[in-house]
């Protein structure tokens, strides 16, 4: 049986997206399994569901919900019982406790820099972006930085790994913090040094292409209590807060307009 959770659907009819839910996915598989058994004349063949991450959640739920159809499930890295909507991001933030104050300060400095032409030029130079940045690119930059931190936390193995468009050294979170602490500069430079451990590809960094798709999967998250004092920021409102307060300043809920 194909691994659950790997199907992608595209439709120009907006009403079709109401069916892109875990409940609908389970119902689809519950319909597919009897169909395949009938088609191949194998009514008594046991069916096992296998998946990882979201696919693993579906695999486990199929066994729970349809035990008469599914004989067993293998669910790898499947958070079937998440204790809170922000639990994943709280765990990510906790991984970086060795350099959380530096990253926290770096996010604040990054956002402040994106409000001026000189600041945007500095961010572009440090990250090696494929083109110059405008104010509206702030969300793309934020998404790219968060994605790098999340990727390293997810793939924090004791050996080098190439996965999810990233080539990481052993213990990438510890290496990211080592790089951040080693920078004798600003918080922004420390943050950039950390995320460069998970730099996705050689050459310039196309932030707007990779990050916007990631942001669409991250609705506004309520940050946890900051592990360091909130910074006295005087910044415009931003619609999303992604990393809990330990890494991402609680007051940075901004909405940027203009270029």
User: Which pLDDT score, from 0 to 100, does residue 166 have?
Assistant: 77
User: Which pLDDT score, from 0 to 100, does residue 2 have?
Assistant: 41
| CATH class, 87-216 region | mainly alpha
User: Which of these, 80, 65, 57, 64, lies nearest to 3 by C-alpha position?
Assistant: 57
Express each pLDDT in 172-196 by its tens digit. 999 999 999 999 778 999 999 999 9
Mean pLDDT of all residues in 149-160: 91
Mean pLDDT computed over every residue of the chain: 76
Measuring CA to CA, how many Å separate 246 from each of 38, 82, 143, 181, 188?
Answer: 54, 20, 17, 16, 16
| 46-60, 118-132, 244-258: least confidently modelled range | 244-258
Place 246 in a pLDDT band, splitting at 50, 70 and 90. Answer: low
User: Which pLDDT score, from 0 to 100, does residue 105 have?
Assistant: 87
For the CA atoms of 243, 244, 249, 251, the dihedral, rounded to the nearest 10 degrees, stands at 110
User: Which pLDDT score, from 0 to 100, does residue 68 have?
Assistant: 95
* 34 vs 220, higher pLDDT: 34
Quote the tokens at residue 21.
């839910």
> What residue segments make up the domains of the chain, in order of their start?
14-76, 87-216
Place 142 in a pLDDT band, splitting at 50, 70 and 90. Answer: confident
198 Cβ partners below 8 Å, 6+ apart? 148, 149, 151, 152, 166, 168, 172, 176
* 54 vs 17, higher pLDDT: 54
């Amino acid at each position: 049986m194909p691994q659950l959770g790997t199907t992608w659907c595209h439709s120009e009819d907006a009403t079709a997206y109401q069916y892109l839910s875990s409940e609908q996915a389970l119902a689809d598989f519950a319909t597919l399994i009897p169909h395949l058994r009938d088609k191949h004349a194998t009514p008594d063949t046991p069916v096992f569901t296998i998946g990882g991450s979201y696919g693993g959640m579906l695999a486990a739920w199929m066994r729970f919900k349809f035990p008469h159809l599914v004989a067993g499930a293998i669910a790898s890295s499947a958070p079937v019982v998440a204790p809170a909507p922000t639990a994943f991001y709280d765990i990510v933030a906790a991984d970086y406790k060795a350099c959380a104050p530096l990253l926290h300060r770096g996010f604040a400095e990054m956002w402040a820099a994106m409000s001026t032409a000189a600041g945007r030029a500095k961010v572009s130079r440090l990250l090696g972006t494929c083109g110059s940045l405008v104010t509206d690119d702030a969300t793309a930059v934020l998404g790219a930085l968060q994605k790098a931190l999340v990727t390293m936390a997810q793939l924090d193995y004791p050996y080098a790994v190439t996965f999810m468009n990233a080539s990481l050294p052993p213990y990438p979170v510890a290496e990211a913090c080592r790089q951040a602490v080693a920078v004798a500069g600003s918080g922004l430079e420390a943050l950039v040094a950390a995320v460069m451990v998970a730099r996705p590809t050689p050459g310039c960094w196309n932030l707007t292409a990779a990050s916007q798709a990631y942001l669409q999967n991250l609705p506004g998250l309520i940050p946890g209590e900051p592990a360091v004092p909130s910074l006295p920021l005087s910044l415009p409102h931003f619609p999303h807060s992604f990393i809990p307060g330990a890494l991402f300043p609680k007051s940075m809920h901004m909405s940027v307009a203009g270029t």
